[in-house]
Structure 1
Amino acid sequence: MALSGWIERAGERIGARGAELKLAFRVTIAGVLAYAVTRFFDMPQGYWAVITAVVVMQASVGGSLKAAIERFSGTLAGAIYGGVIAALIPHGSALTLGICIIVALFPLALLAAVKPAFRVAPITSLIMLLPPTGQAIGPLASAIDRVLEITLGNVVGVLVSLFVLPARAHTLMTEAAAKVVSLNADLVTVFIDELTAGPTDRPALQKIHPQIRSALKKAEAAADEAARERRTHLTEAPDPEPLIRTLYRVRHDLVMIGRAASSPLPDPVLDRLKPSLTALHQATRALLLKLSDSLRQRRKPPDAEAFRAALEAFTGEADALRADVLVHELPAQAFGQVFALGFAFEQFQKNLIDLLARTDELASGRTKTSLGS
């Protein structure tokens, strides 16, 4: 019984790491395939193709393309410049080799600092000067050999990324976006609890906010890779930028709601608003969780009618307070808090409807990829 339970738990943990296992499998395939090709062509420094294939392999096709382009451009610049320095400046002694290293490193290090895509260039330039193989076959032949091997590694890495358990950047983006939306649902719960019971769950806020920021950064990085896949015609999925912009607008709306909910409502106001506020909380949380599932599964977004009705009921109750005698017995700050809360939720509704529209676009374009999903 204990063994079966252990196996079941192990299976659950493995299943939860499906994306990581696929990436590890693709990395292994790319390294082995690159090694086999270098052996077939009997390349003298074939290990660079193997290393490049492994380095190029990223979590998505777009990420692999970016890594391949940067690796190739940096290697080409470093090989050409380092080969010229090695050919023109004698470096048989320790002193002259040190001078060559200075001349080879500084310009390329400056280039890499200005344009991070060329960060491999200084390393390649050094390799042109230091290894005995480069000195044995000559600077020009070594430069050509280096570029050919790095190119081979790039090609192998991108092809494996495309055809071996491919992970589209749009998929990674929507998964990160779904994480953001589900965390937003938890955030709304904390805010409503603060309104009704006071700031008793600050540790939860301190945990949720960094998680949301991290998920947003992942979604933004994946969107950049997804845009690269679109530019290279590897997918016909919708433009990812509108989704990211909307997620940040929703994030801003929740910050406004959080400010309005930073202190509990006075008891007389809470007695009037708690039923509609509770209904709004439940409708908002349910909509966000369903929307998270829709993003994760790339399907049509849920209906927002229940959320709209709950928000209208809450704003109606809040507006009714203006004409109530109760208002005159309360501090102006309390009524201002209710007004700010209603305004923040109305702004939240506008951007949430936009987020539903972006989700619908993604669901409509899920099968429109030039190389399959």
Structure 2
Amino acid sequence: MASSGWIERLGSLIGVRPAELKLAFRVTIAGALAYAVTKLFDLPQGYWAVITAVVVMQASVGGSLKAAVERFSGTLAGAVYGGLVAGFVPHTSPLSLGLAIVVALFPLALLAAVKPAFRVAPITSLIMLLPPTGQAIGPIASAFDRVLEITLGNIVGVLVSLFVLPARAHTLMAEAAAKVVSLNADLFSIFIEELTDGPKGRSALQTLHPQIRSALKKAEAAAEEATRERKSRLTEAPDPEPLIRTLYRVRHDLVMIGRAASGPLPPLIRERLSPSLNALHEATRRLLLDLAQALHNRRTPQGAAAFEEALNAFTFEAEALRSPSLMRELPGKAFGQVVALGFALEQFRQDLGDLLLRTGDLALDRTAHPDER
């Protein structure tokens, strides 16, 4: 989109990434627009519409839809039940007000504990009892005004999310997935270096594994928002779940490779396998980094021909180790390590192929809908 260019330039000037800057613009516009609408309709407690529009605004359209639904459902439940309590439970004295608060809170707090989407319901119910405005205009009118204002804020928030610098959840998911794949390239490098040079990179794993887990959670959260956008007919992008499942399978494959690489190969085996392992390392790293760039830019990835060739060469060298002379010279544990590594790499090959397909699906969707950002 044309607006993305100046947003990115402004972000680079003030040191903020474009996605965060776009969200800041959307939040500001949503709050200001909600305020203008409340003044237009002269709502008595219009600030709730402004607060709701800001709360609803999330990083993606799907996230904003989720926040709007949760805010509305929680407010409706709290306003209706709190209005009934305010209307039928006496609360003119401190003691009776304390009893009314208990009656208003417990059922809704239990509802919010069972269904977190209703977490604002207890708060709304309390507001129905405590503020002087609710008592001045009556509980029923106060409940109606509260639902009207929250609904207005939800509408403004979702509309701004849709039409002002919109960020599609599929794009956020692809960017998080790109981060996962890029970190996987670093992880694979550490494992191969451990096989050939010894466990020199174990300290790096203590920071790398948490980063991968965090990126996977971010991708999974974005996938949930993308699913919500698809169900709301806001996008025709492919189902995000296959990509997330494939990322987790690749993650499991790397764990298996890491177990096989928990110690260096014996010198004789290392001498035979180091050339093919190093070639496999380079080809795999190039493939993963290209996949990361393809996911980030939602373009078609390059093929895996170099990776396939390098893995086939390693497999051939590993099979050649089964000669009777070598098997007599080396302990069975050494051959078990090579077999485990070969098995894990074969699984890795299959799941990388699936990841290439999933990345290609996202690229095709971006080609069909170039404005989905």
Question: Which residue number corresponds to residue 94 of structure 1?
Answer: 94
Question: Which residue number corresponds to residue 281 of structure 2?
Answer: 281
Unmatched 5+ stretches in structure 1: 1-9
For 1:348 and 1:369, locate their aligned partners in 2 and report how far apart those are by CA, in whole Å.
31
Contact in 2 for aligned 1:233/1:370 (Cα 8 Å)? no
**SS of equivalent residue, structure 2 residue 322:** helix
Question: Which residue number corresponds to residue 217 of structure 1?
Answer: 217
The amino acid across from 2:319 in the alignment is D
Q: CA deviation at 1:90?
A: 1.1
Question: Which residue number corresponds to residue 349 of structure 1?
Answer: 349
TM-score (normalised: structure 1): 0.95
Question: Which residue number corresponds to residue 202 of structure 1?
Answer: 202
For 1:241 and 1:13, locate their aligned partners in 2 and report how far apart those are by CA, in whole Å.
36
Distance verdict in 2 for CA 1:294–1:26, change over 3 Å: same
Question: Which residue number corresponds to residue 19 of structure 1?
Answer: 19
For 2:113 and 2:90, locate their aligned partners in 1 and report how far apart those are by CA, in whole Å.
28
Question: Which residue number corresponds to residue 359 of structure 1?
Answer: 359
For 1:106 and 1:370, locate their aligned partners in 2 and report how far apart those are by CA, in whole Å.
49
Contact in 1 for aligned 2:366/2:372 (Cα 8 Å)? no
Q: CA deviation at 1:12?
A: 4.2
Contact in 2 for aligned 1:179/1:292 (Cα 8 Å)? yes
Question: Which residue number corresponds to residue 128 of structure 2?
Answer: 128
**SS of equivalent residue, structure 1 residue 366:** helix
1:150 corresponds to 2:150: yes
Q: CA deviation at 1:349?
A: 0.3
Contact in 2 for aligned 1:31/1:53 (Cα 8 Å)? yes
**Which digits, 9 at most, give the CA deviation of each residue in 1:311-363, with x for residues without a partner?**
00001000000025122111111110011101100000000000000111111
The amino acid across from 1:140 in the alignment is I
Q: CA deviation at 1:14?
A: 3.9
Contact in 1 for aligned 2:167/2:372 (Cα 8 Å)? no
Question: Which residue number corresponds to residue 290 of structure 2?
Answer: 290
Question: Which residue number corresponds to residue 78 of structure 1?
Answer: 78
Question: Which residue number corresponds to residue 113 of structure 2?
Answer: 113
**SS of equivalent residue, structure 2 residue 328:** helix
Unmatched 5+ stretches in structure 2: 1-9
Identity among equivalent positions (%) equals 75
Contact in 2 for aligned 1:234/1:369 (Cα 8 Å)? no
Contact in 1 for aligned 2:11/2:17 (Cα 8 Å)? no
Contact in 1 for aligned 2:22/2:165 (Cα 8 Å)? yes
Q: CA deviation at 1:196?
A: 1.0
Contact in 2 for aligned 1:300/1:363 (Cα 8 Å)? yes
The amino acid across from 1:187 in the alignment is L
1:264 corresponds to 2:264: yes
Contact in 2 for aligned 1:234/1:370 (Cα 8 Å)? no
**SS of equivalent residue, structure 2 residue 351:** helix
**SS of equivalent residue, structure 1 residue 322:** coil
**Which digits, 9 at most, give the CA deviation of each residue in 1:45-75, with x for residues without a partner?**
0000000000000000000000000000000
Contact in 2 for aligned 1:81/1:104 (Cα 8 Å)? yes
**SS of equivalent residue, structure 2 residue 366:** coil
The amino acid across from 1:362 in the alignment is L
Contact in 1 for aligned 2:128/2:143 (Cα 8 Å)? yes
For 2:371 and 2:138, locate their aligned partners in 1 and report how far apart those are by CA, in whole Å.
42
**Which digits, 9 at most, give the CA deviation of each residue in 1:67-99, with x for residues without a partner?**
000000000000000000000011111111100
Distance verdict in 2 for CA 1:171–1:18, change over 3 Å: same
For 1:28 and 1:203, locate their aligned partners in 2 and report how far apart those are by CA, in whole Å.
43
Question: Which residue number corresponds to residue 245 of structure 1?
Answer: 245
**Which digits, 9 at most, give the CA deviation of each residue in 1:120-145, with x for residues without a partner?**
10000000000000000000000000
For 1:141 and 1:370, locate their aligned partners in 2 and report how far apart those are by CA, in whole Å.
47
The amino acid across from 1:57 in the alignment is M
For 1:66 and 1:249, locate their aligned partners in 2 and report how far apart those are by CA, in whole Å.
28
For 1:245 and 1:309, locate their aligned partners in 2 and report how far apart those are by CA, in whole Å.
26
- Comparing 57-66 with 293-302, greater Cα deviation is found at 293-302
Question: Which residue number corresponds to residue 5 of structure 2?
Answer: none
Question: Which residue number corresponds to residue 65 of structure 1?
Answer: 65
**SS of equivalent residue, structure 1 residue 200:** coil
The amino acid across from 1:158 in the alignment is V
Contact in 1 for aligned 2:257/2:345 (Cα 8 Å)? yes
Contact in 1 for aligned 2:168/2:372 (Cα 8 Å)? no
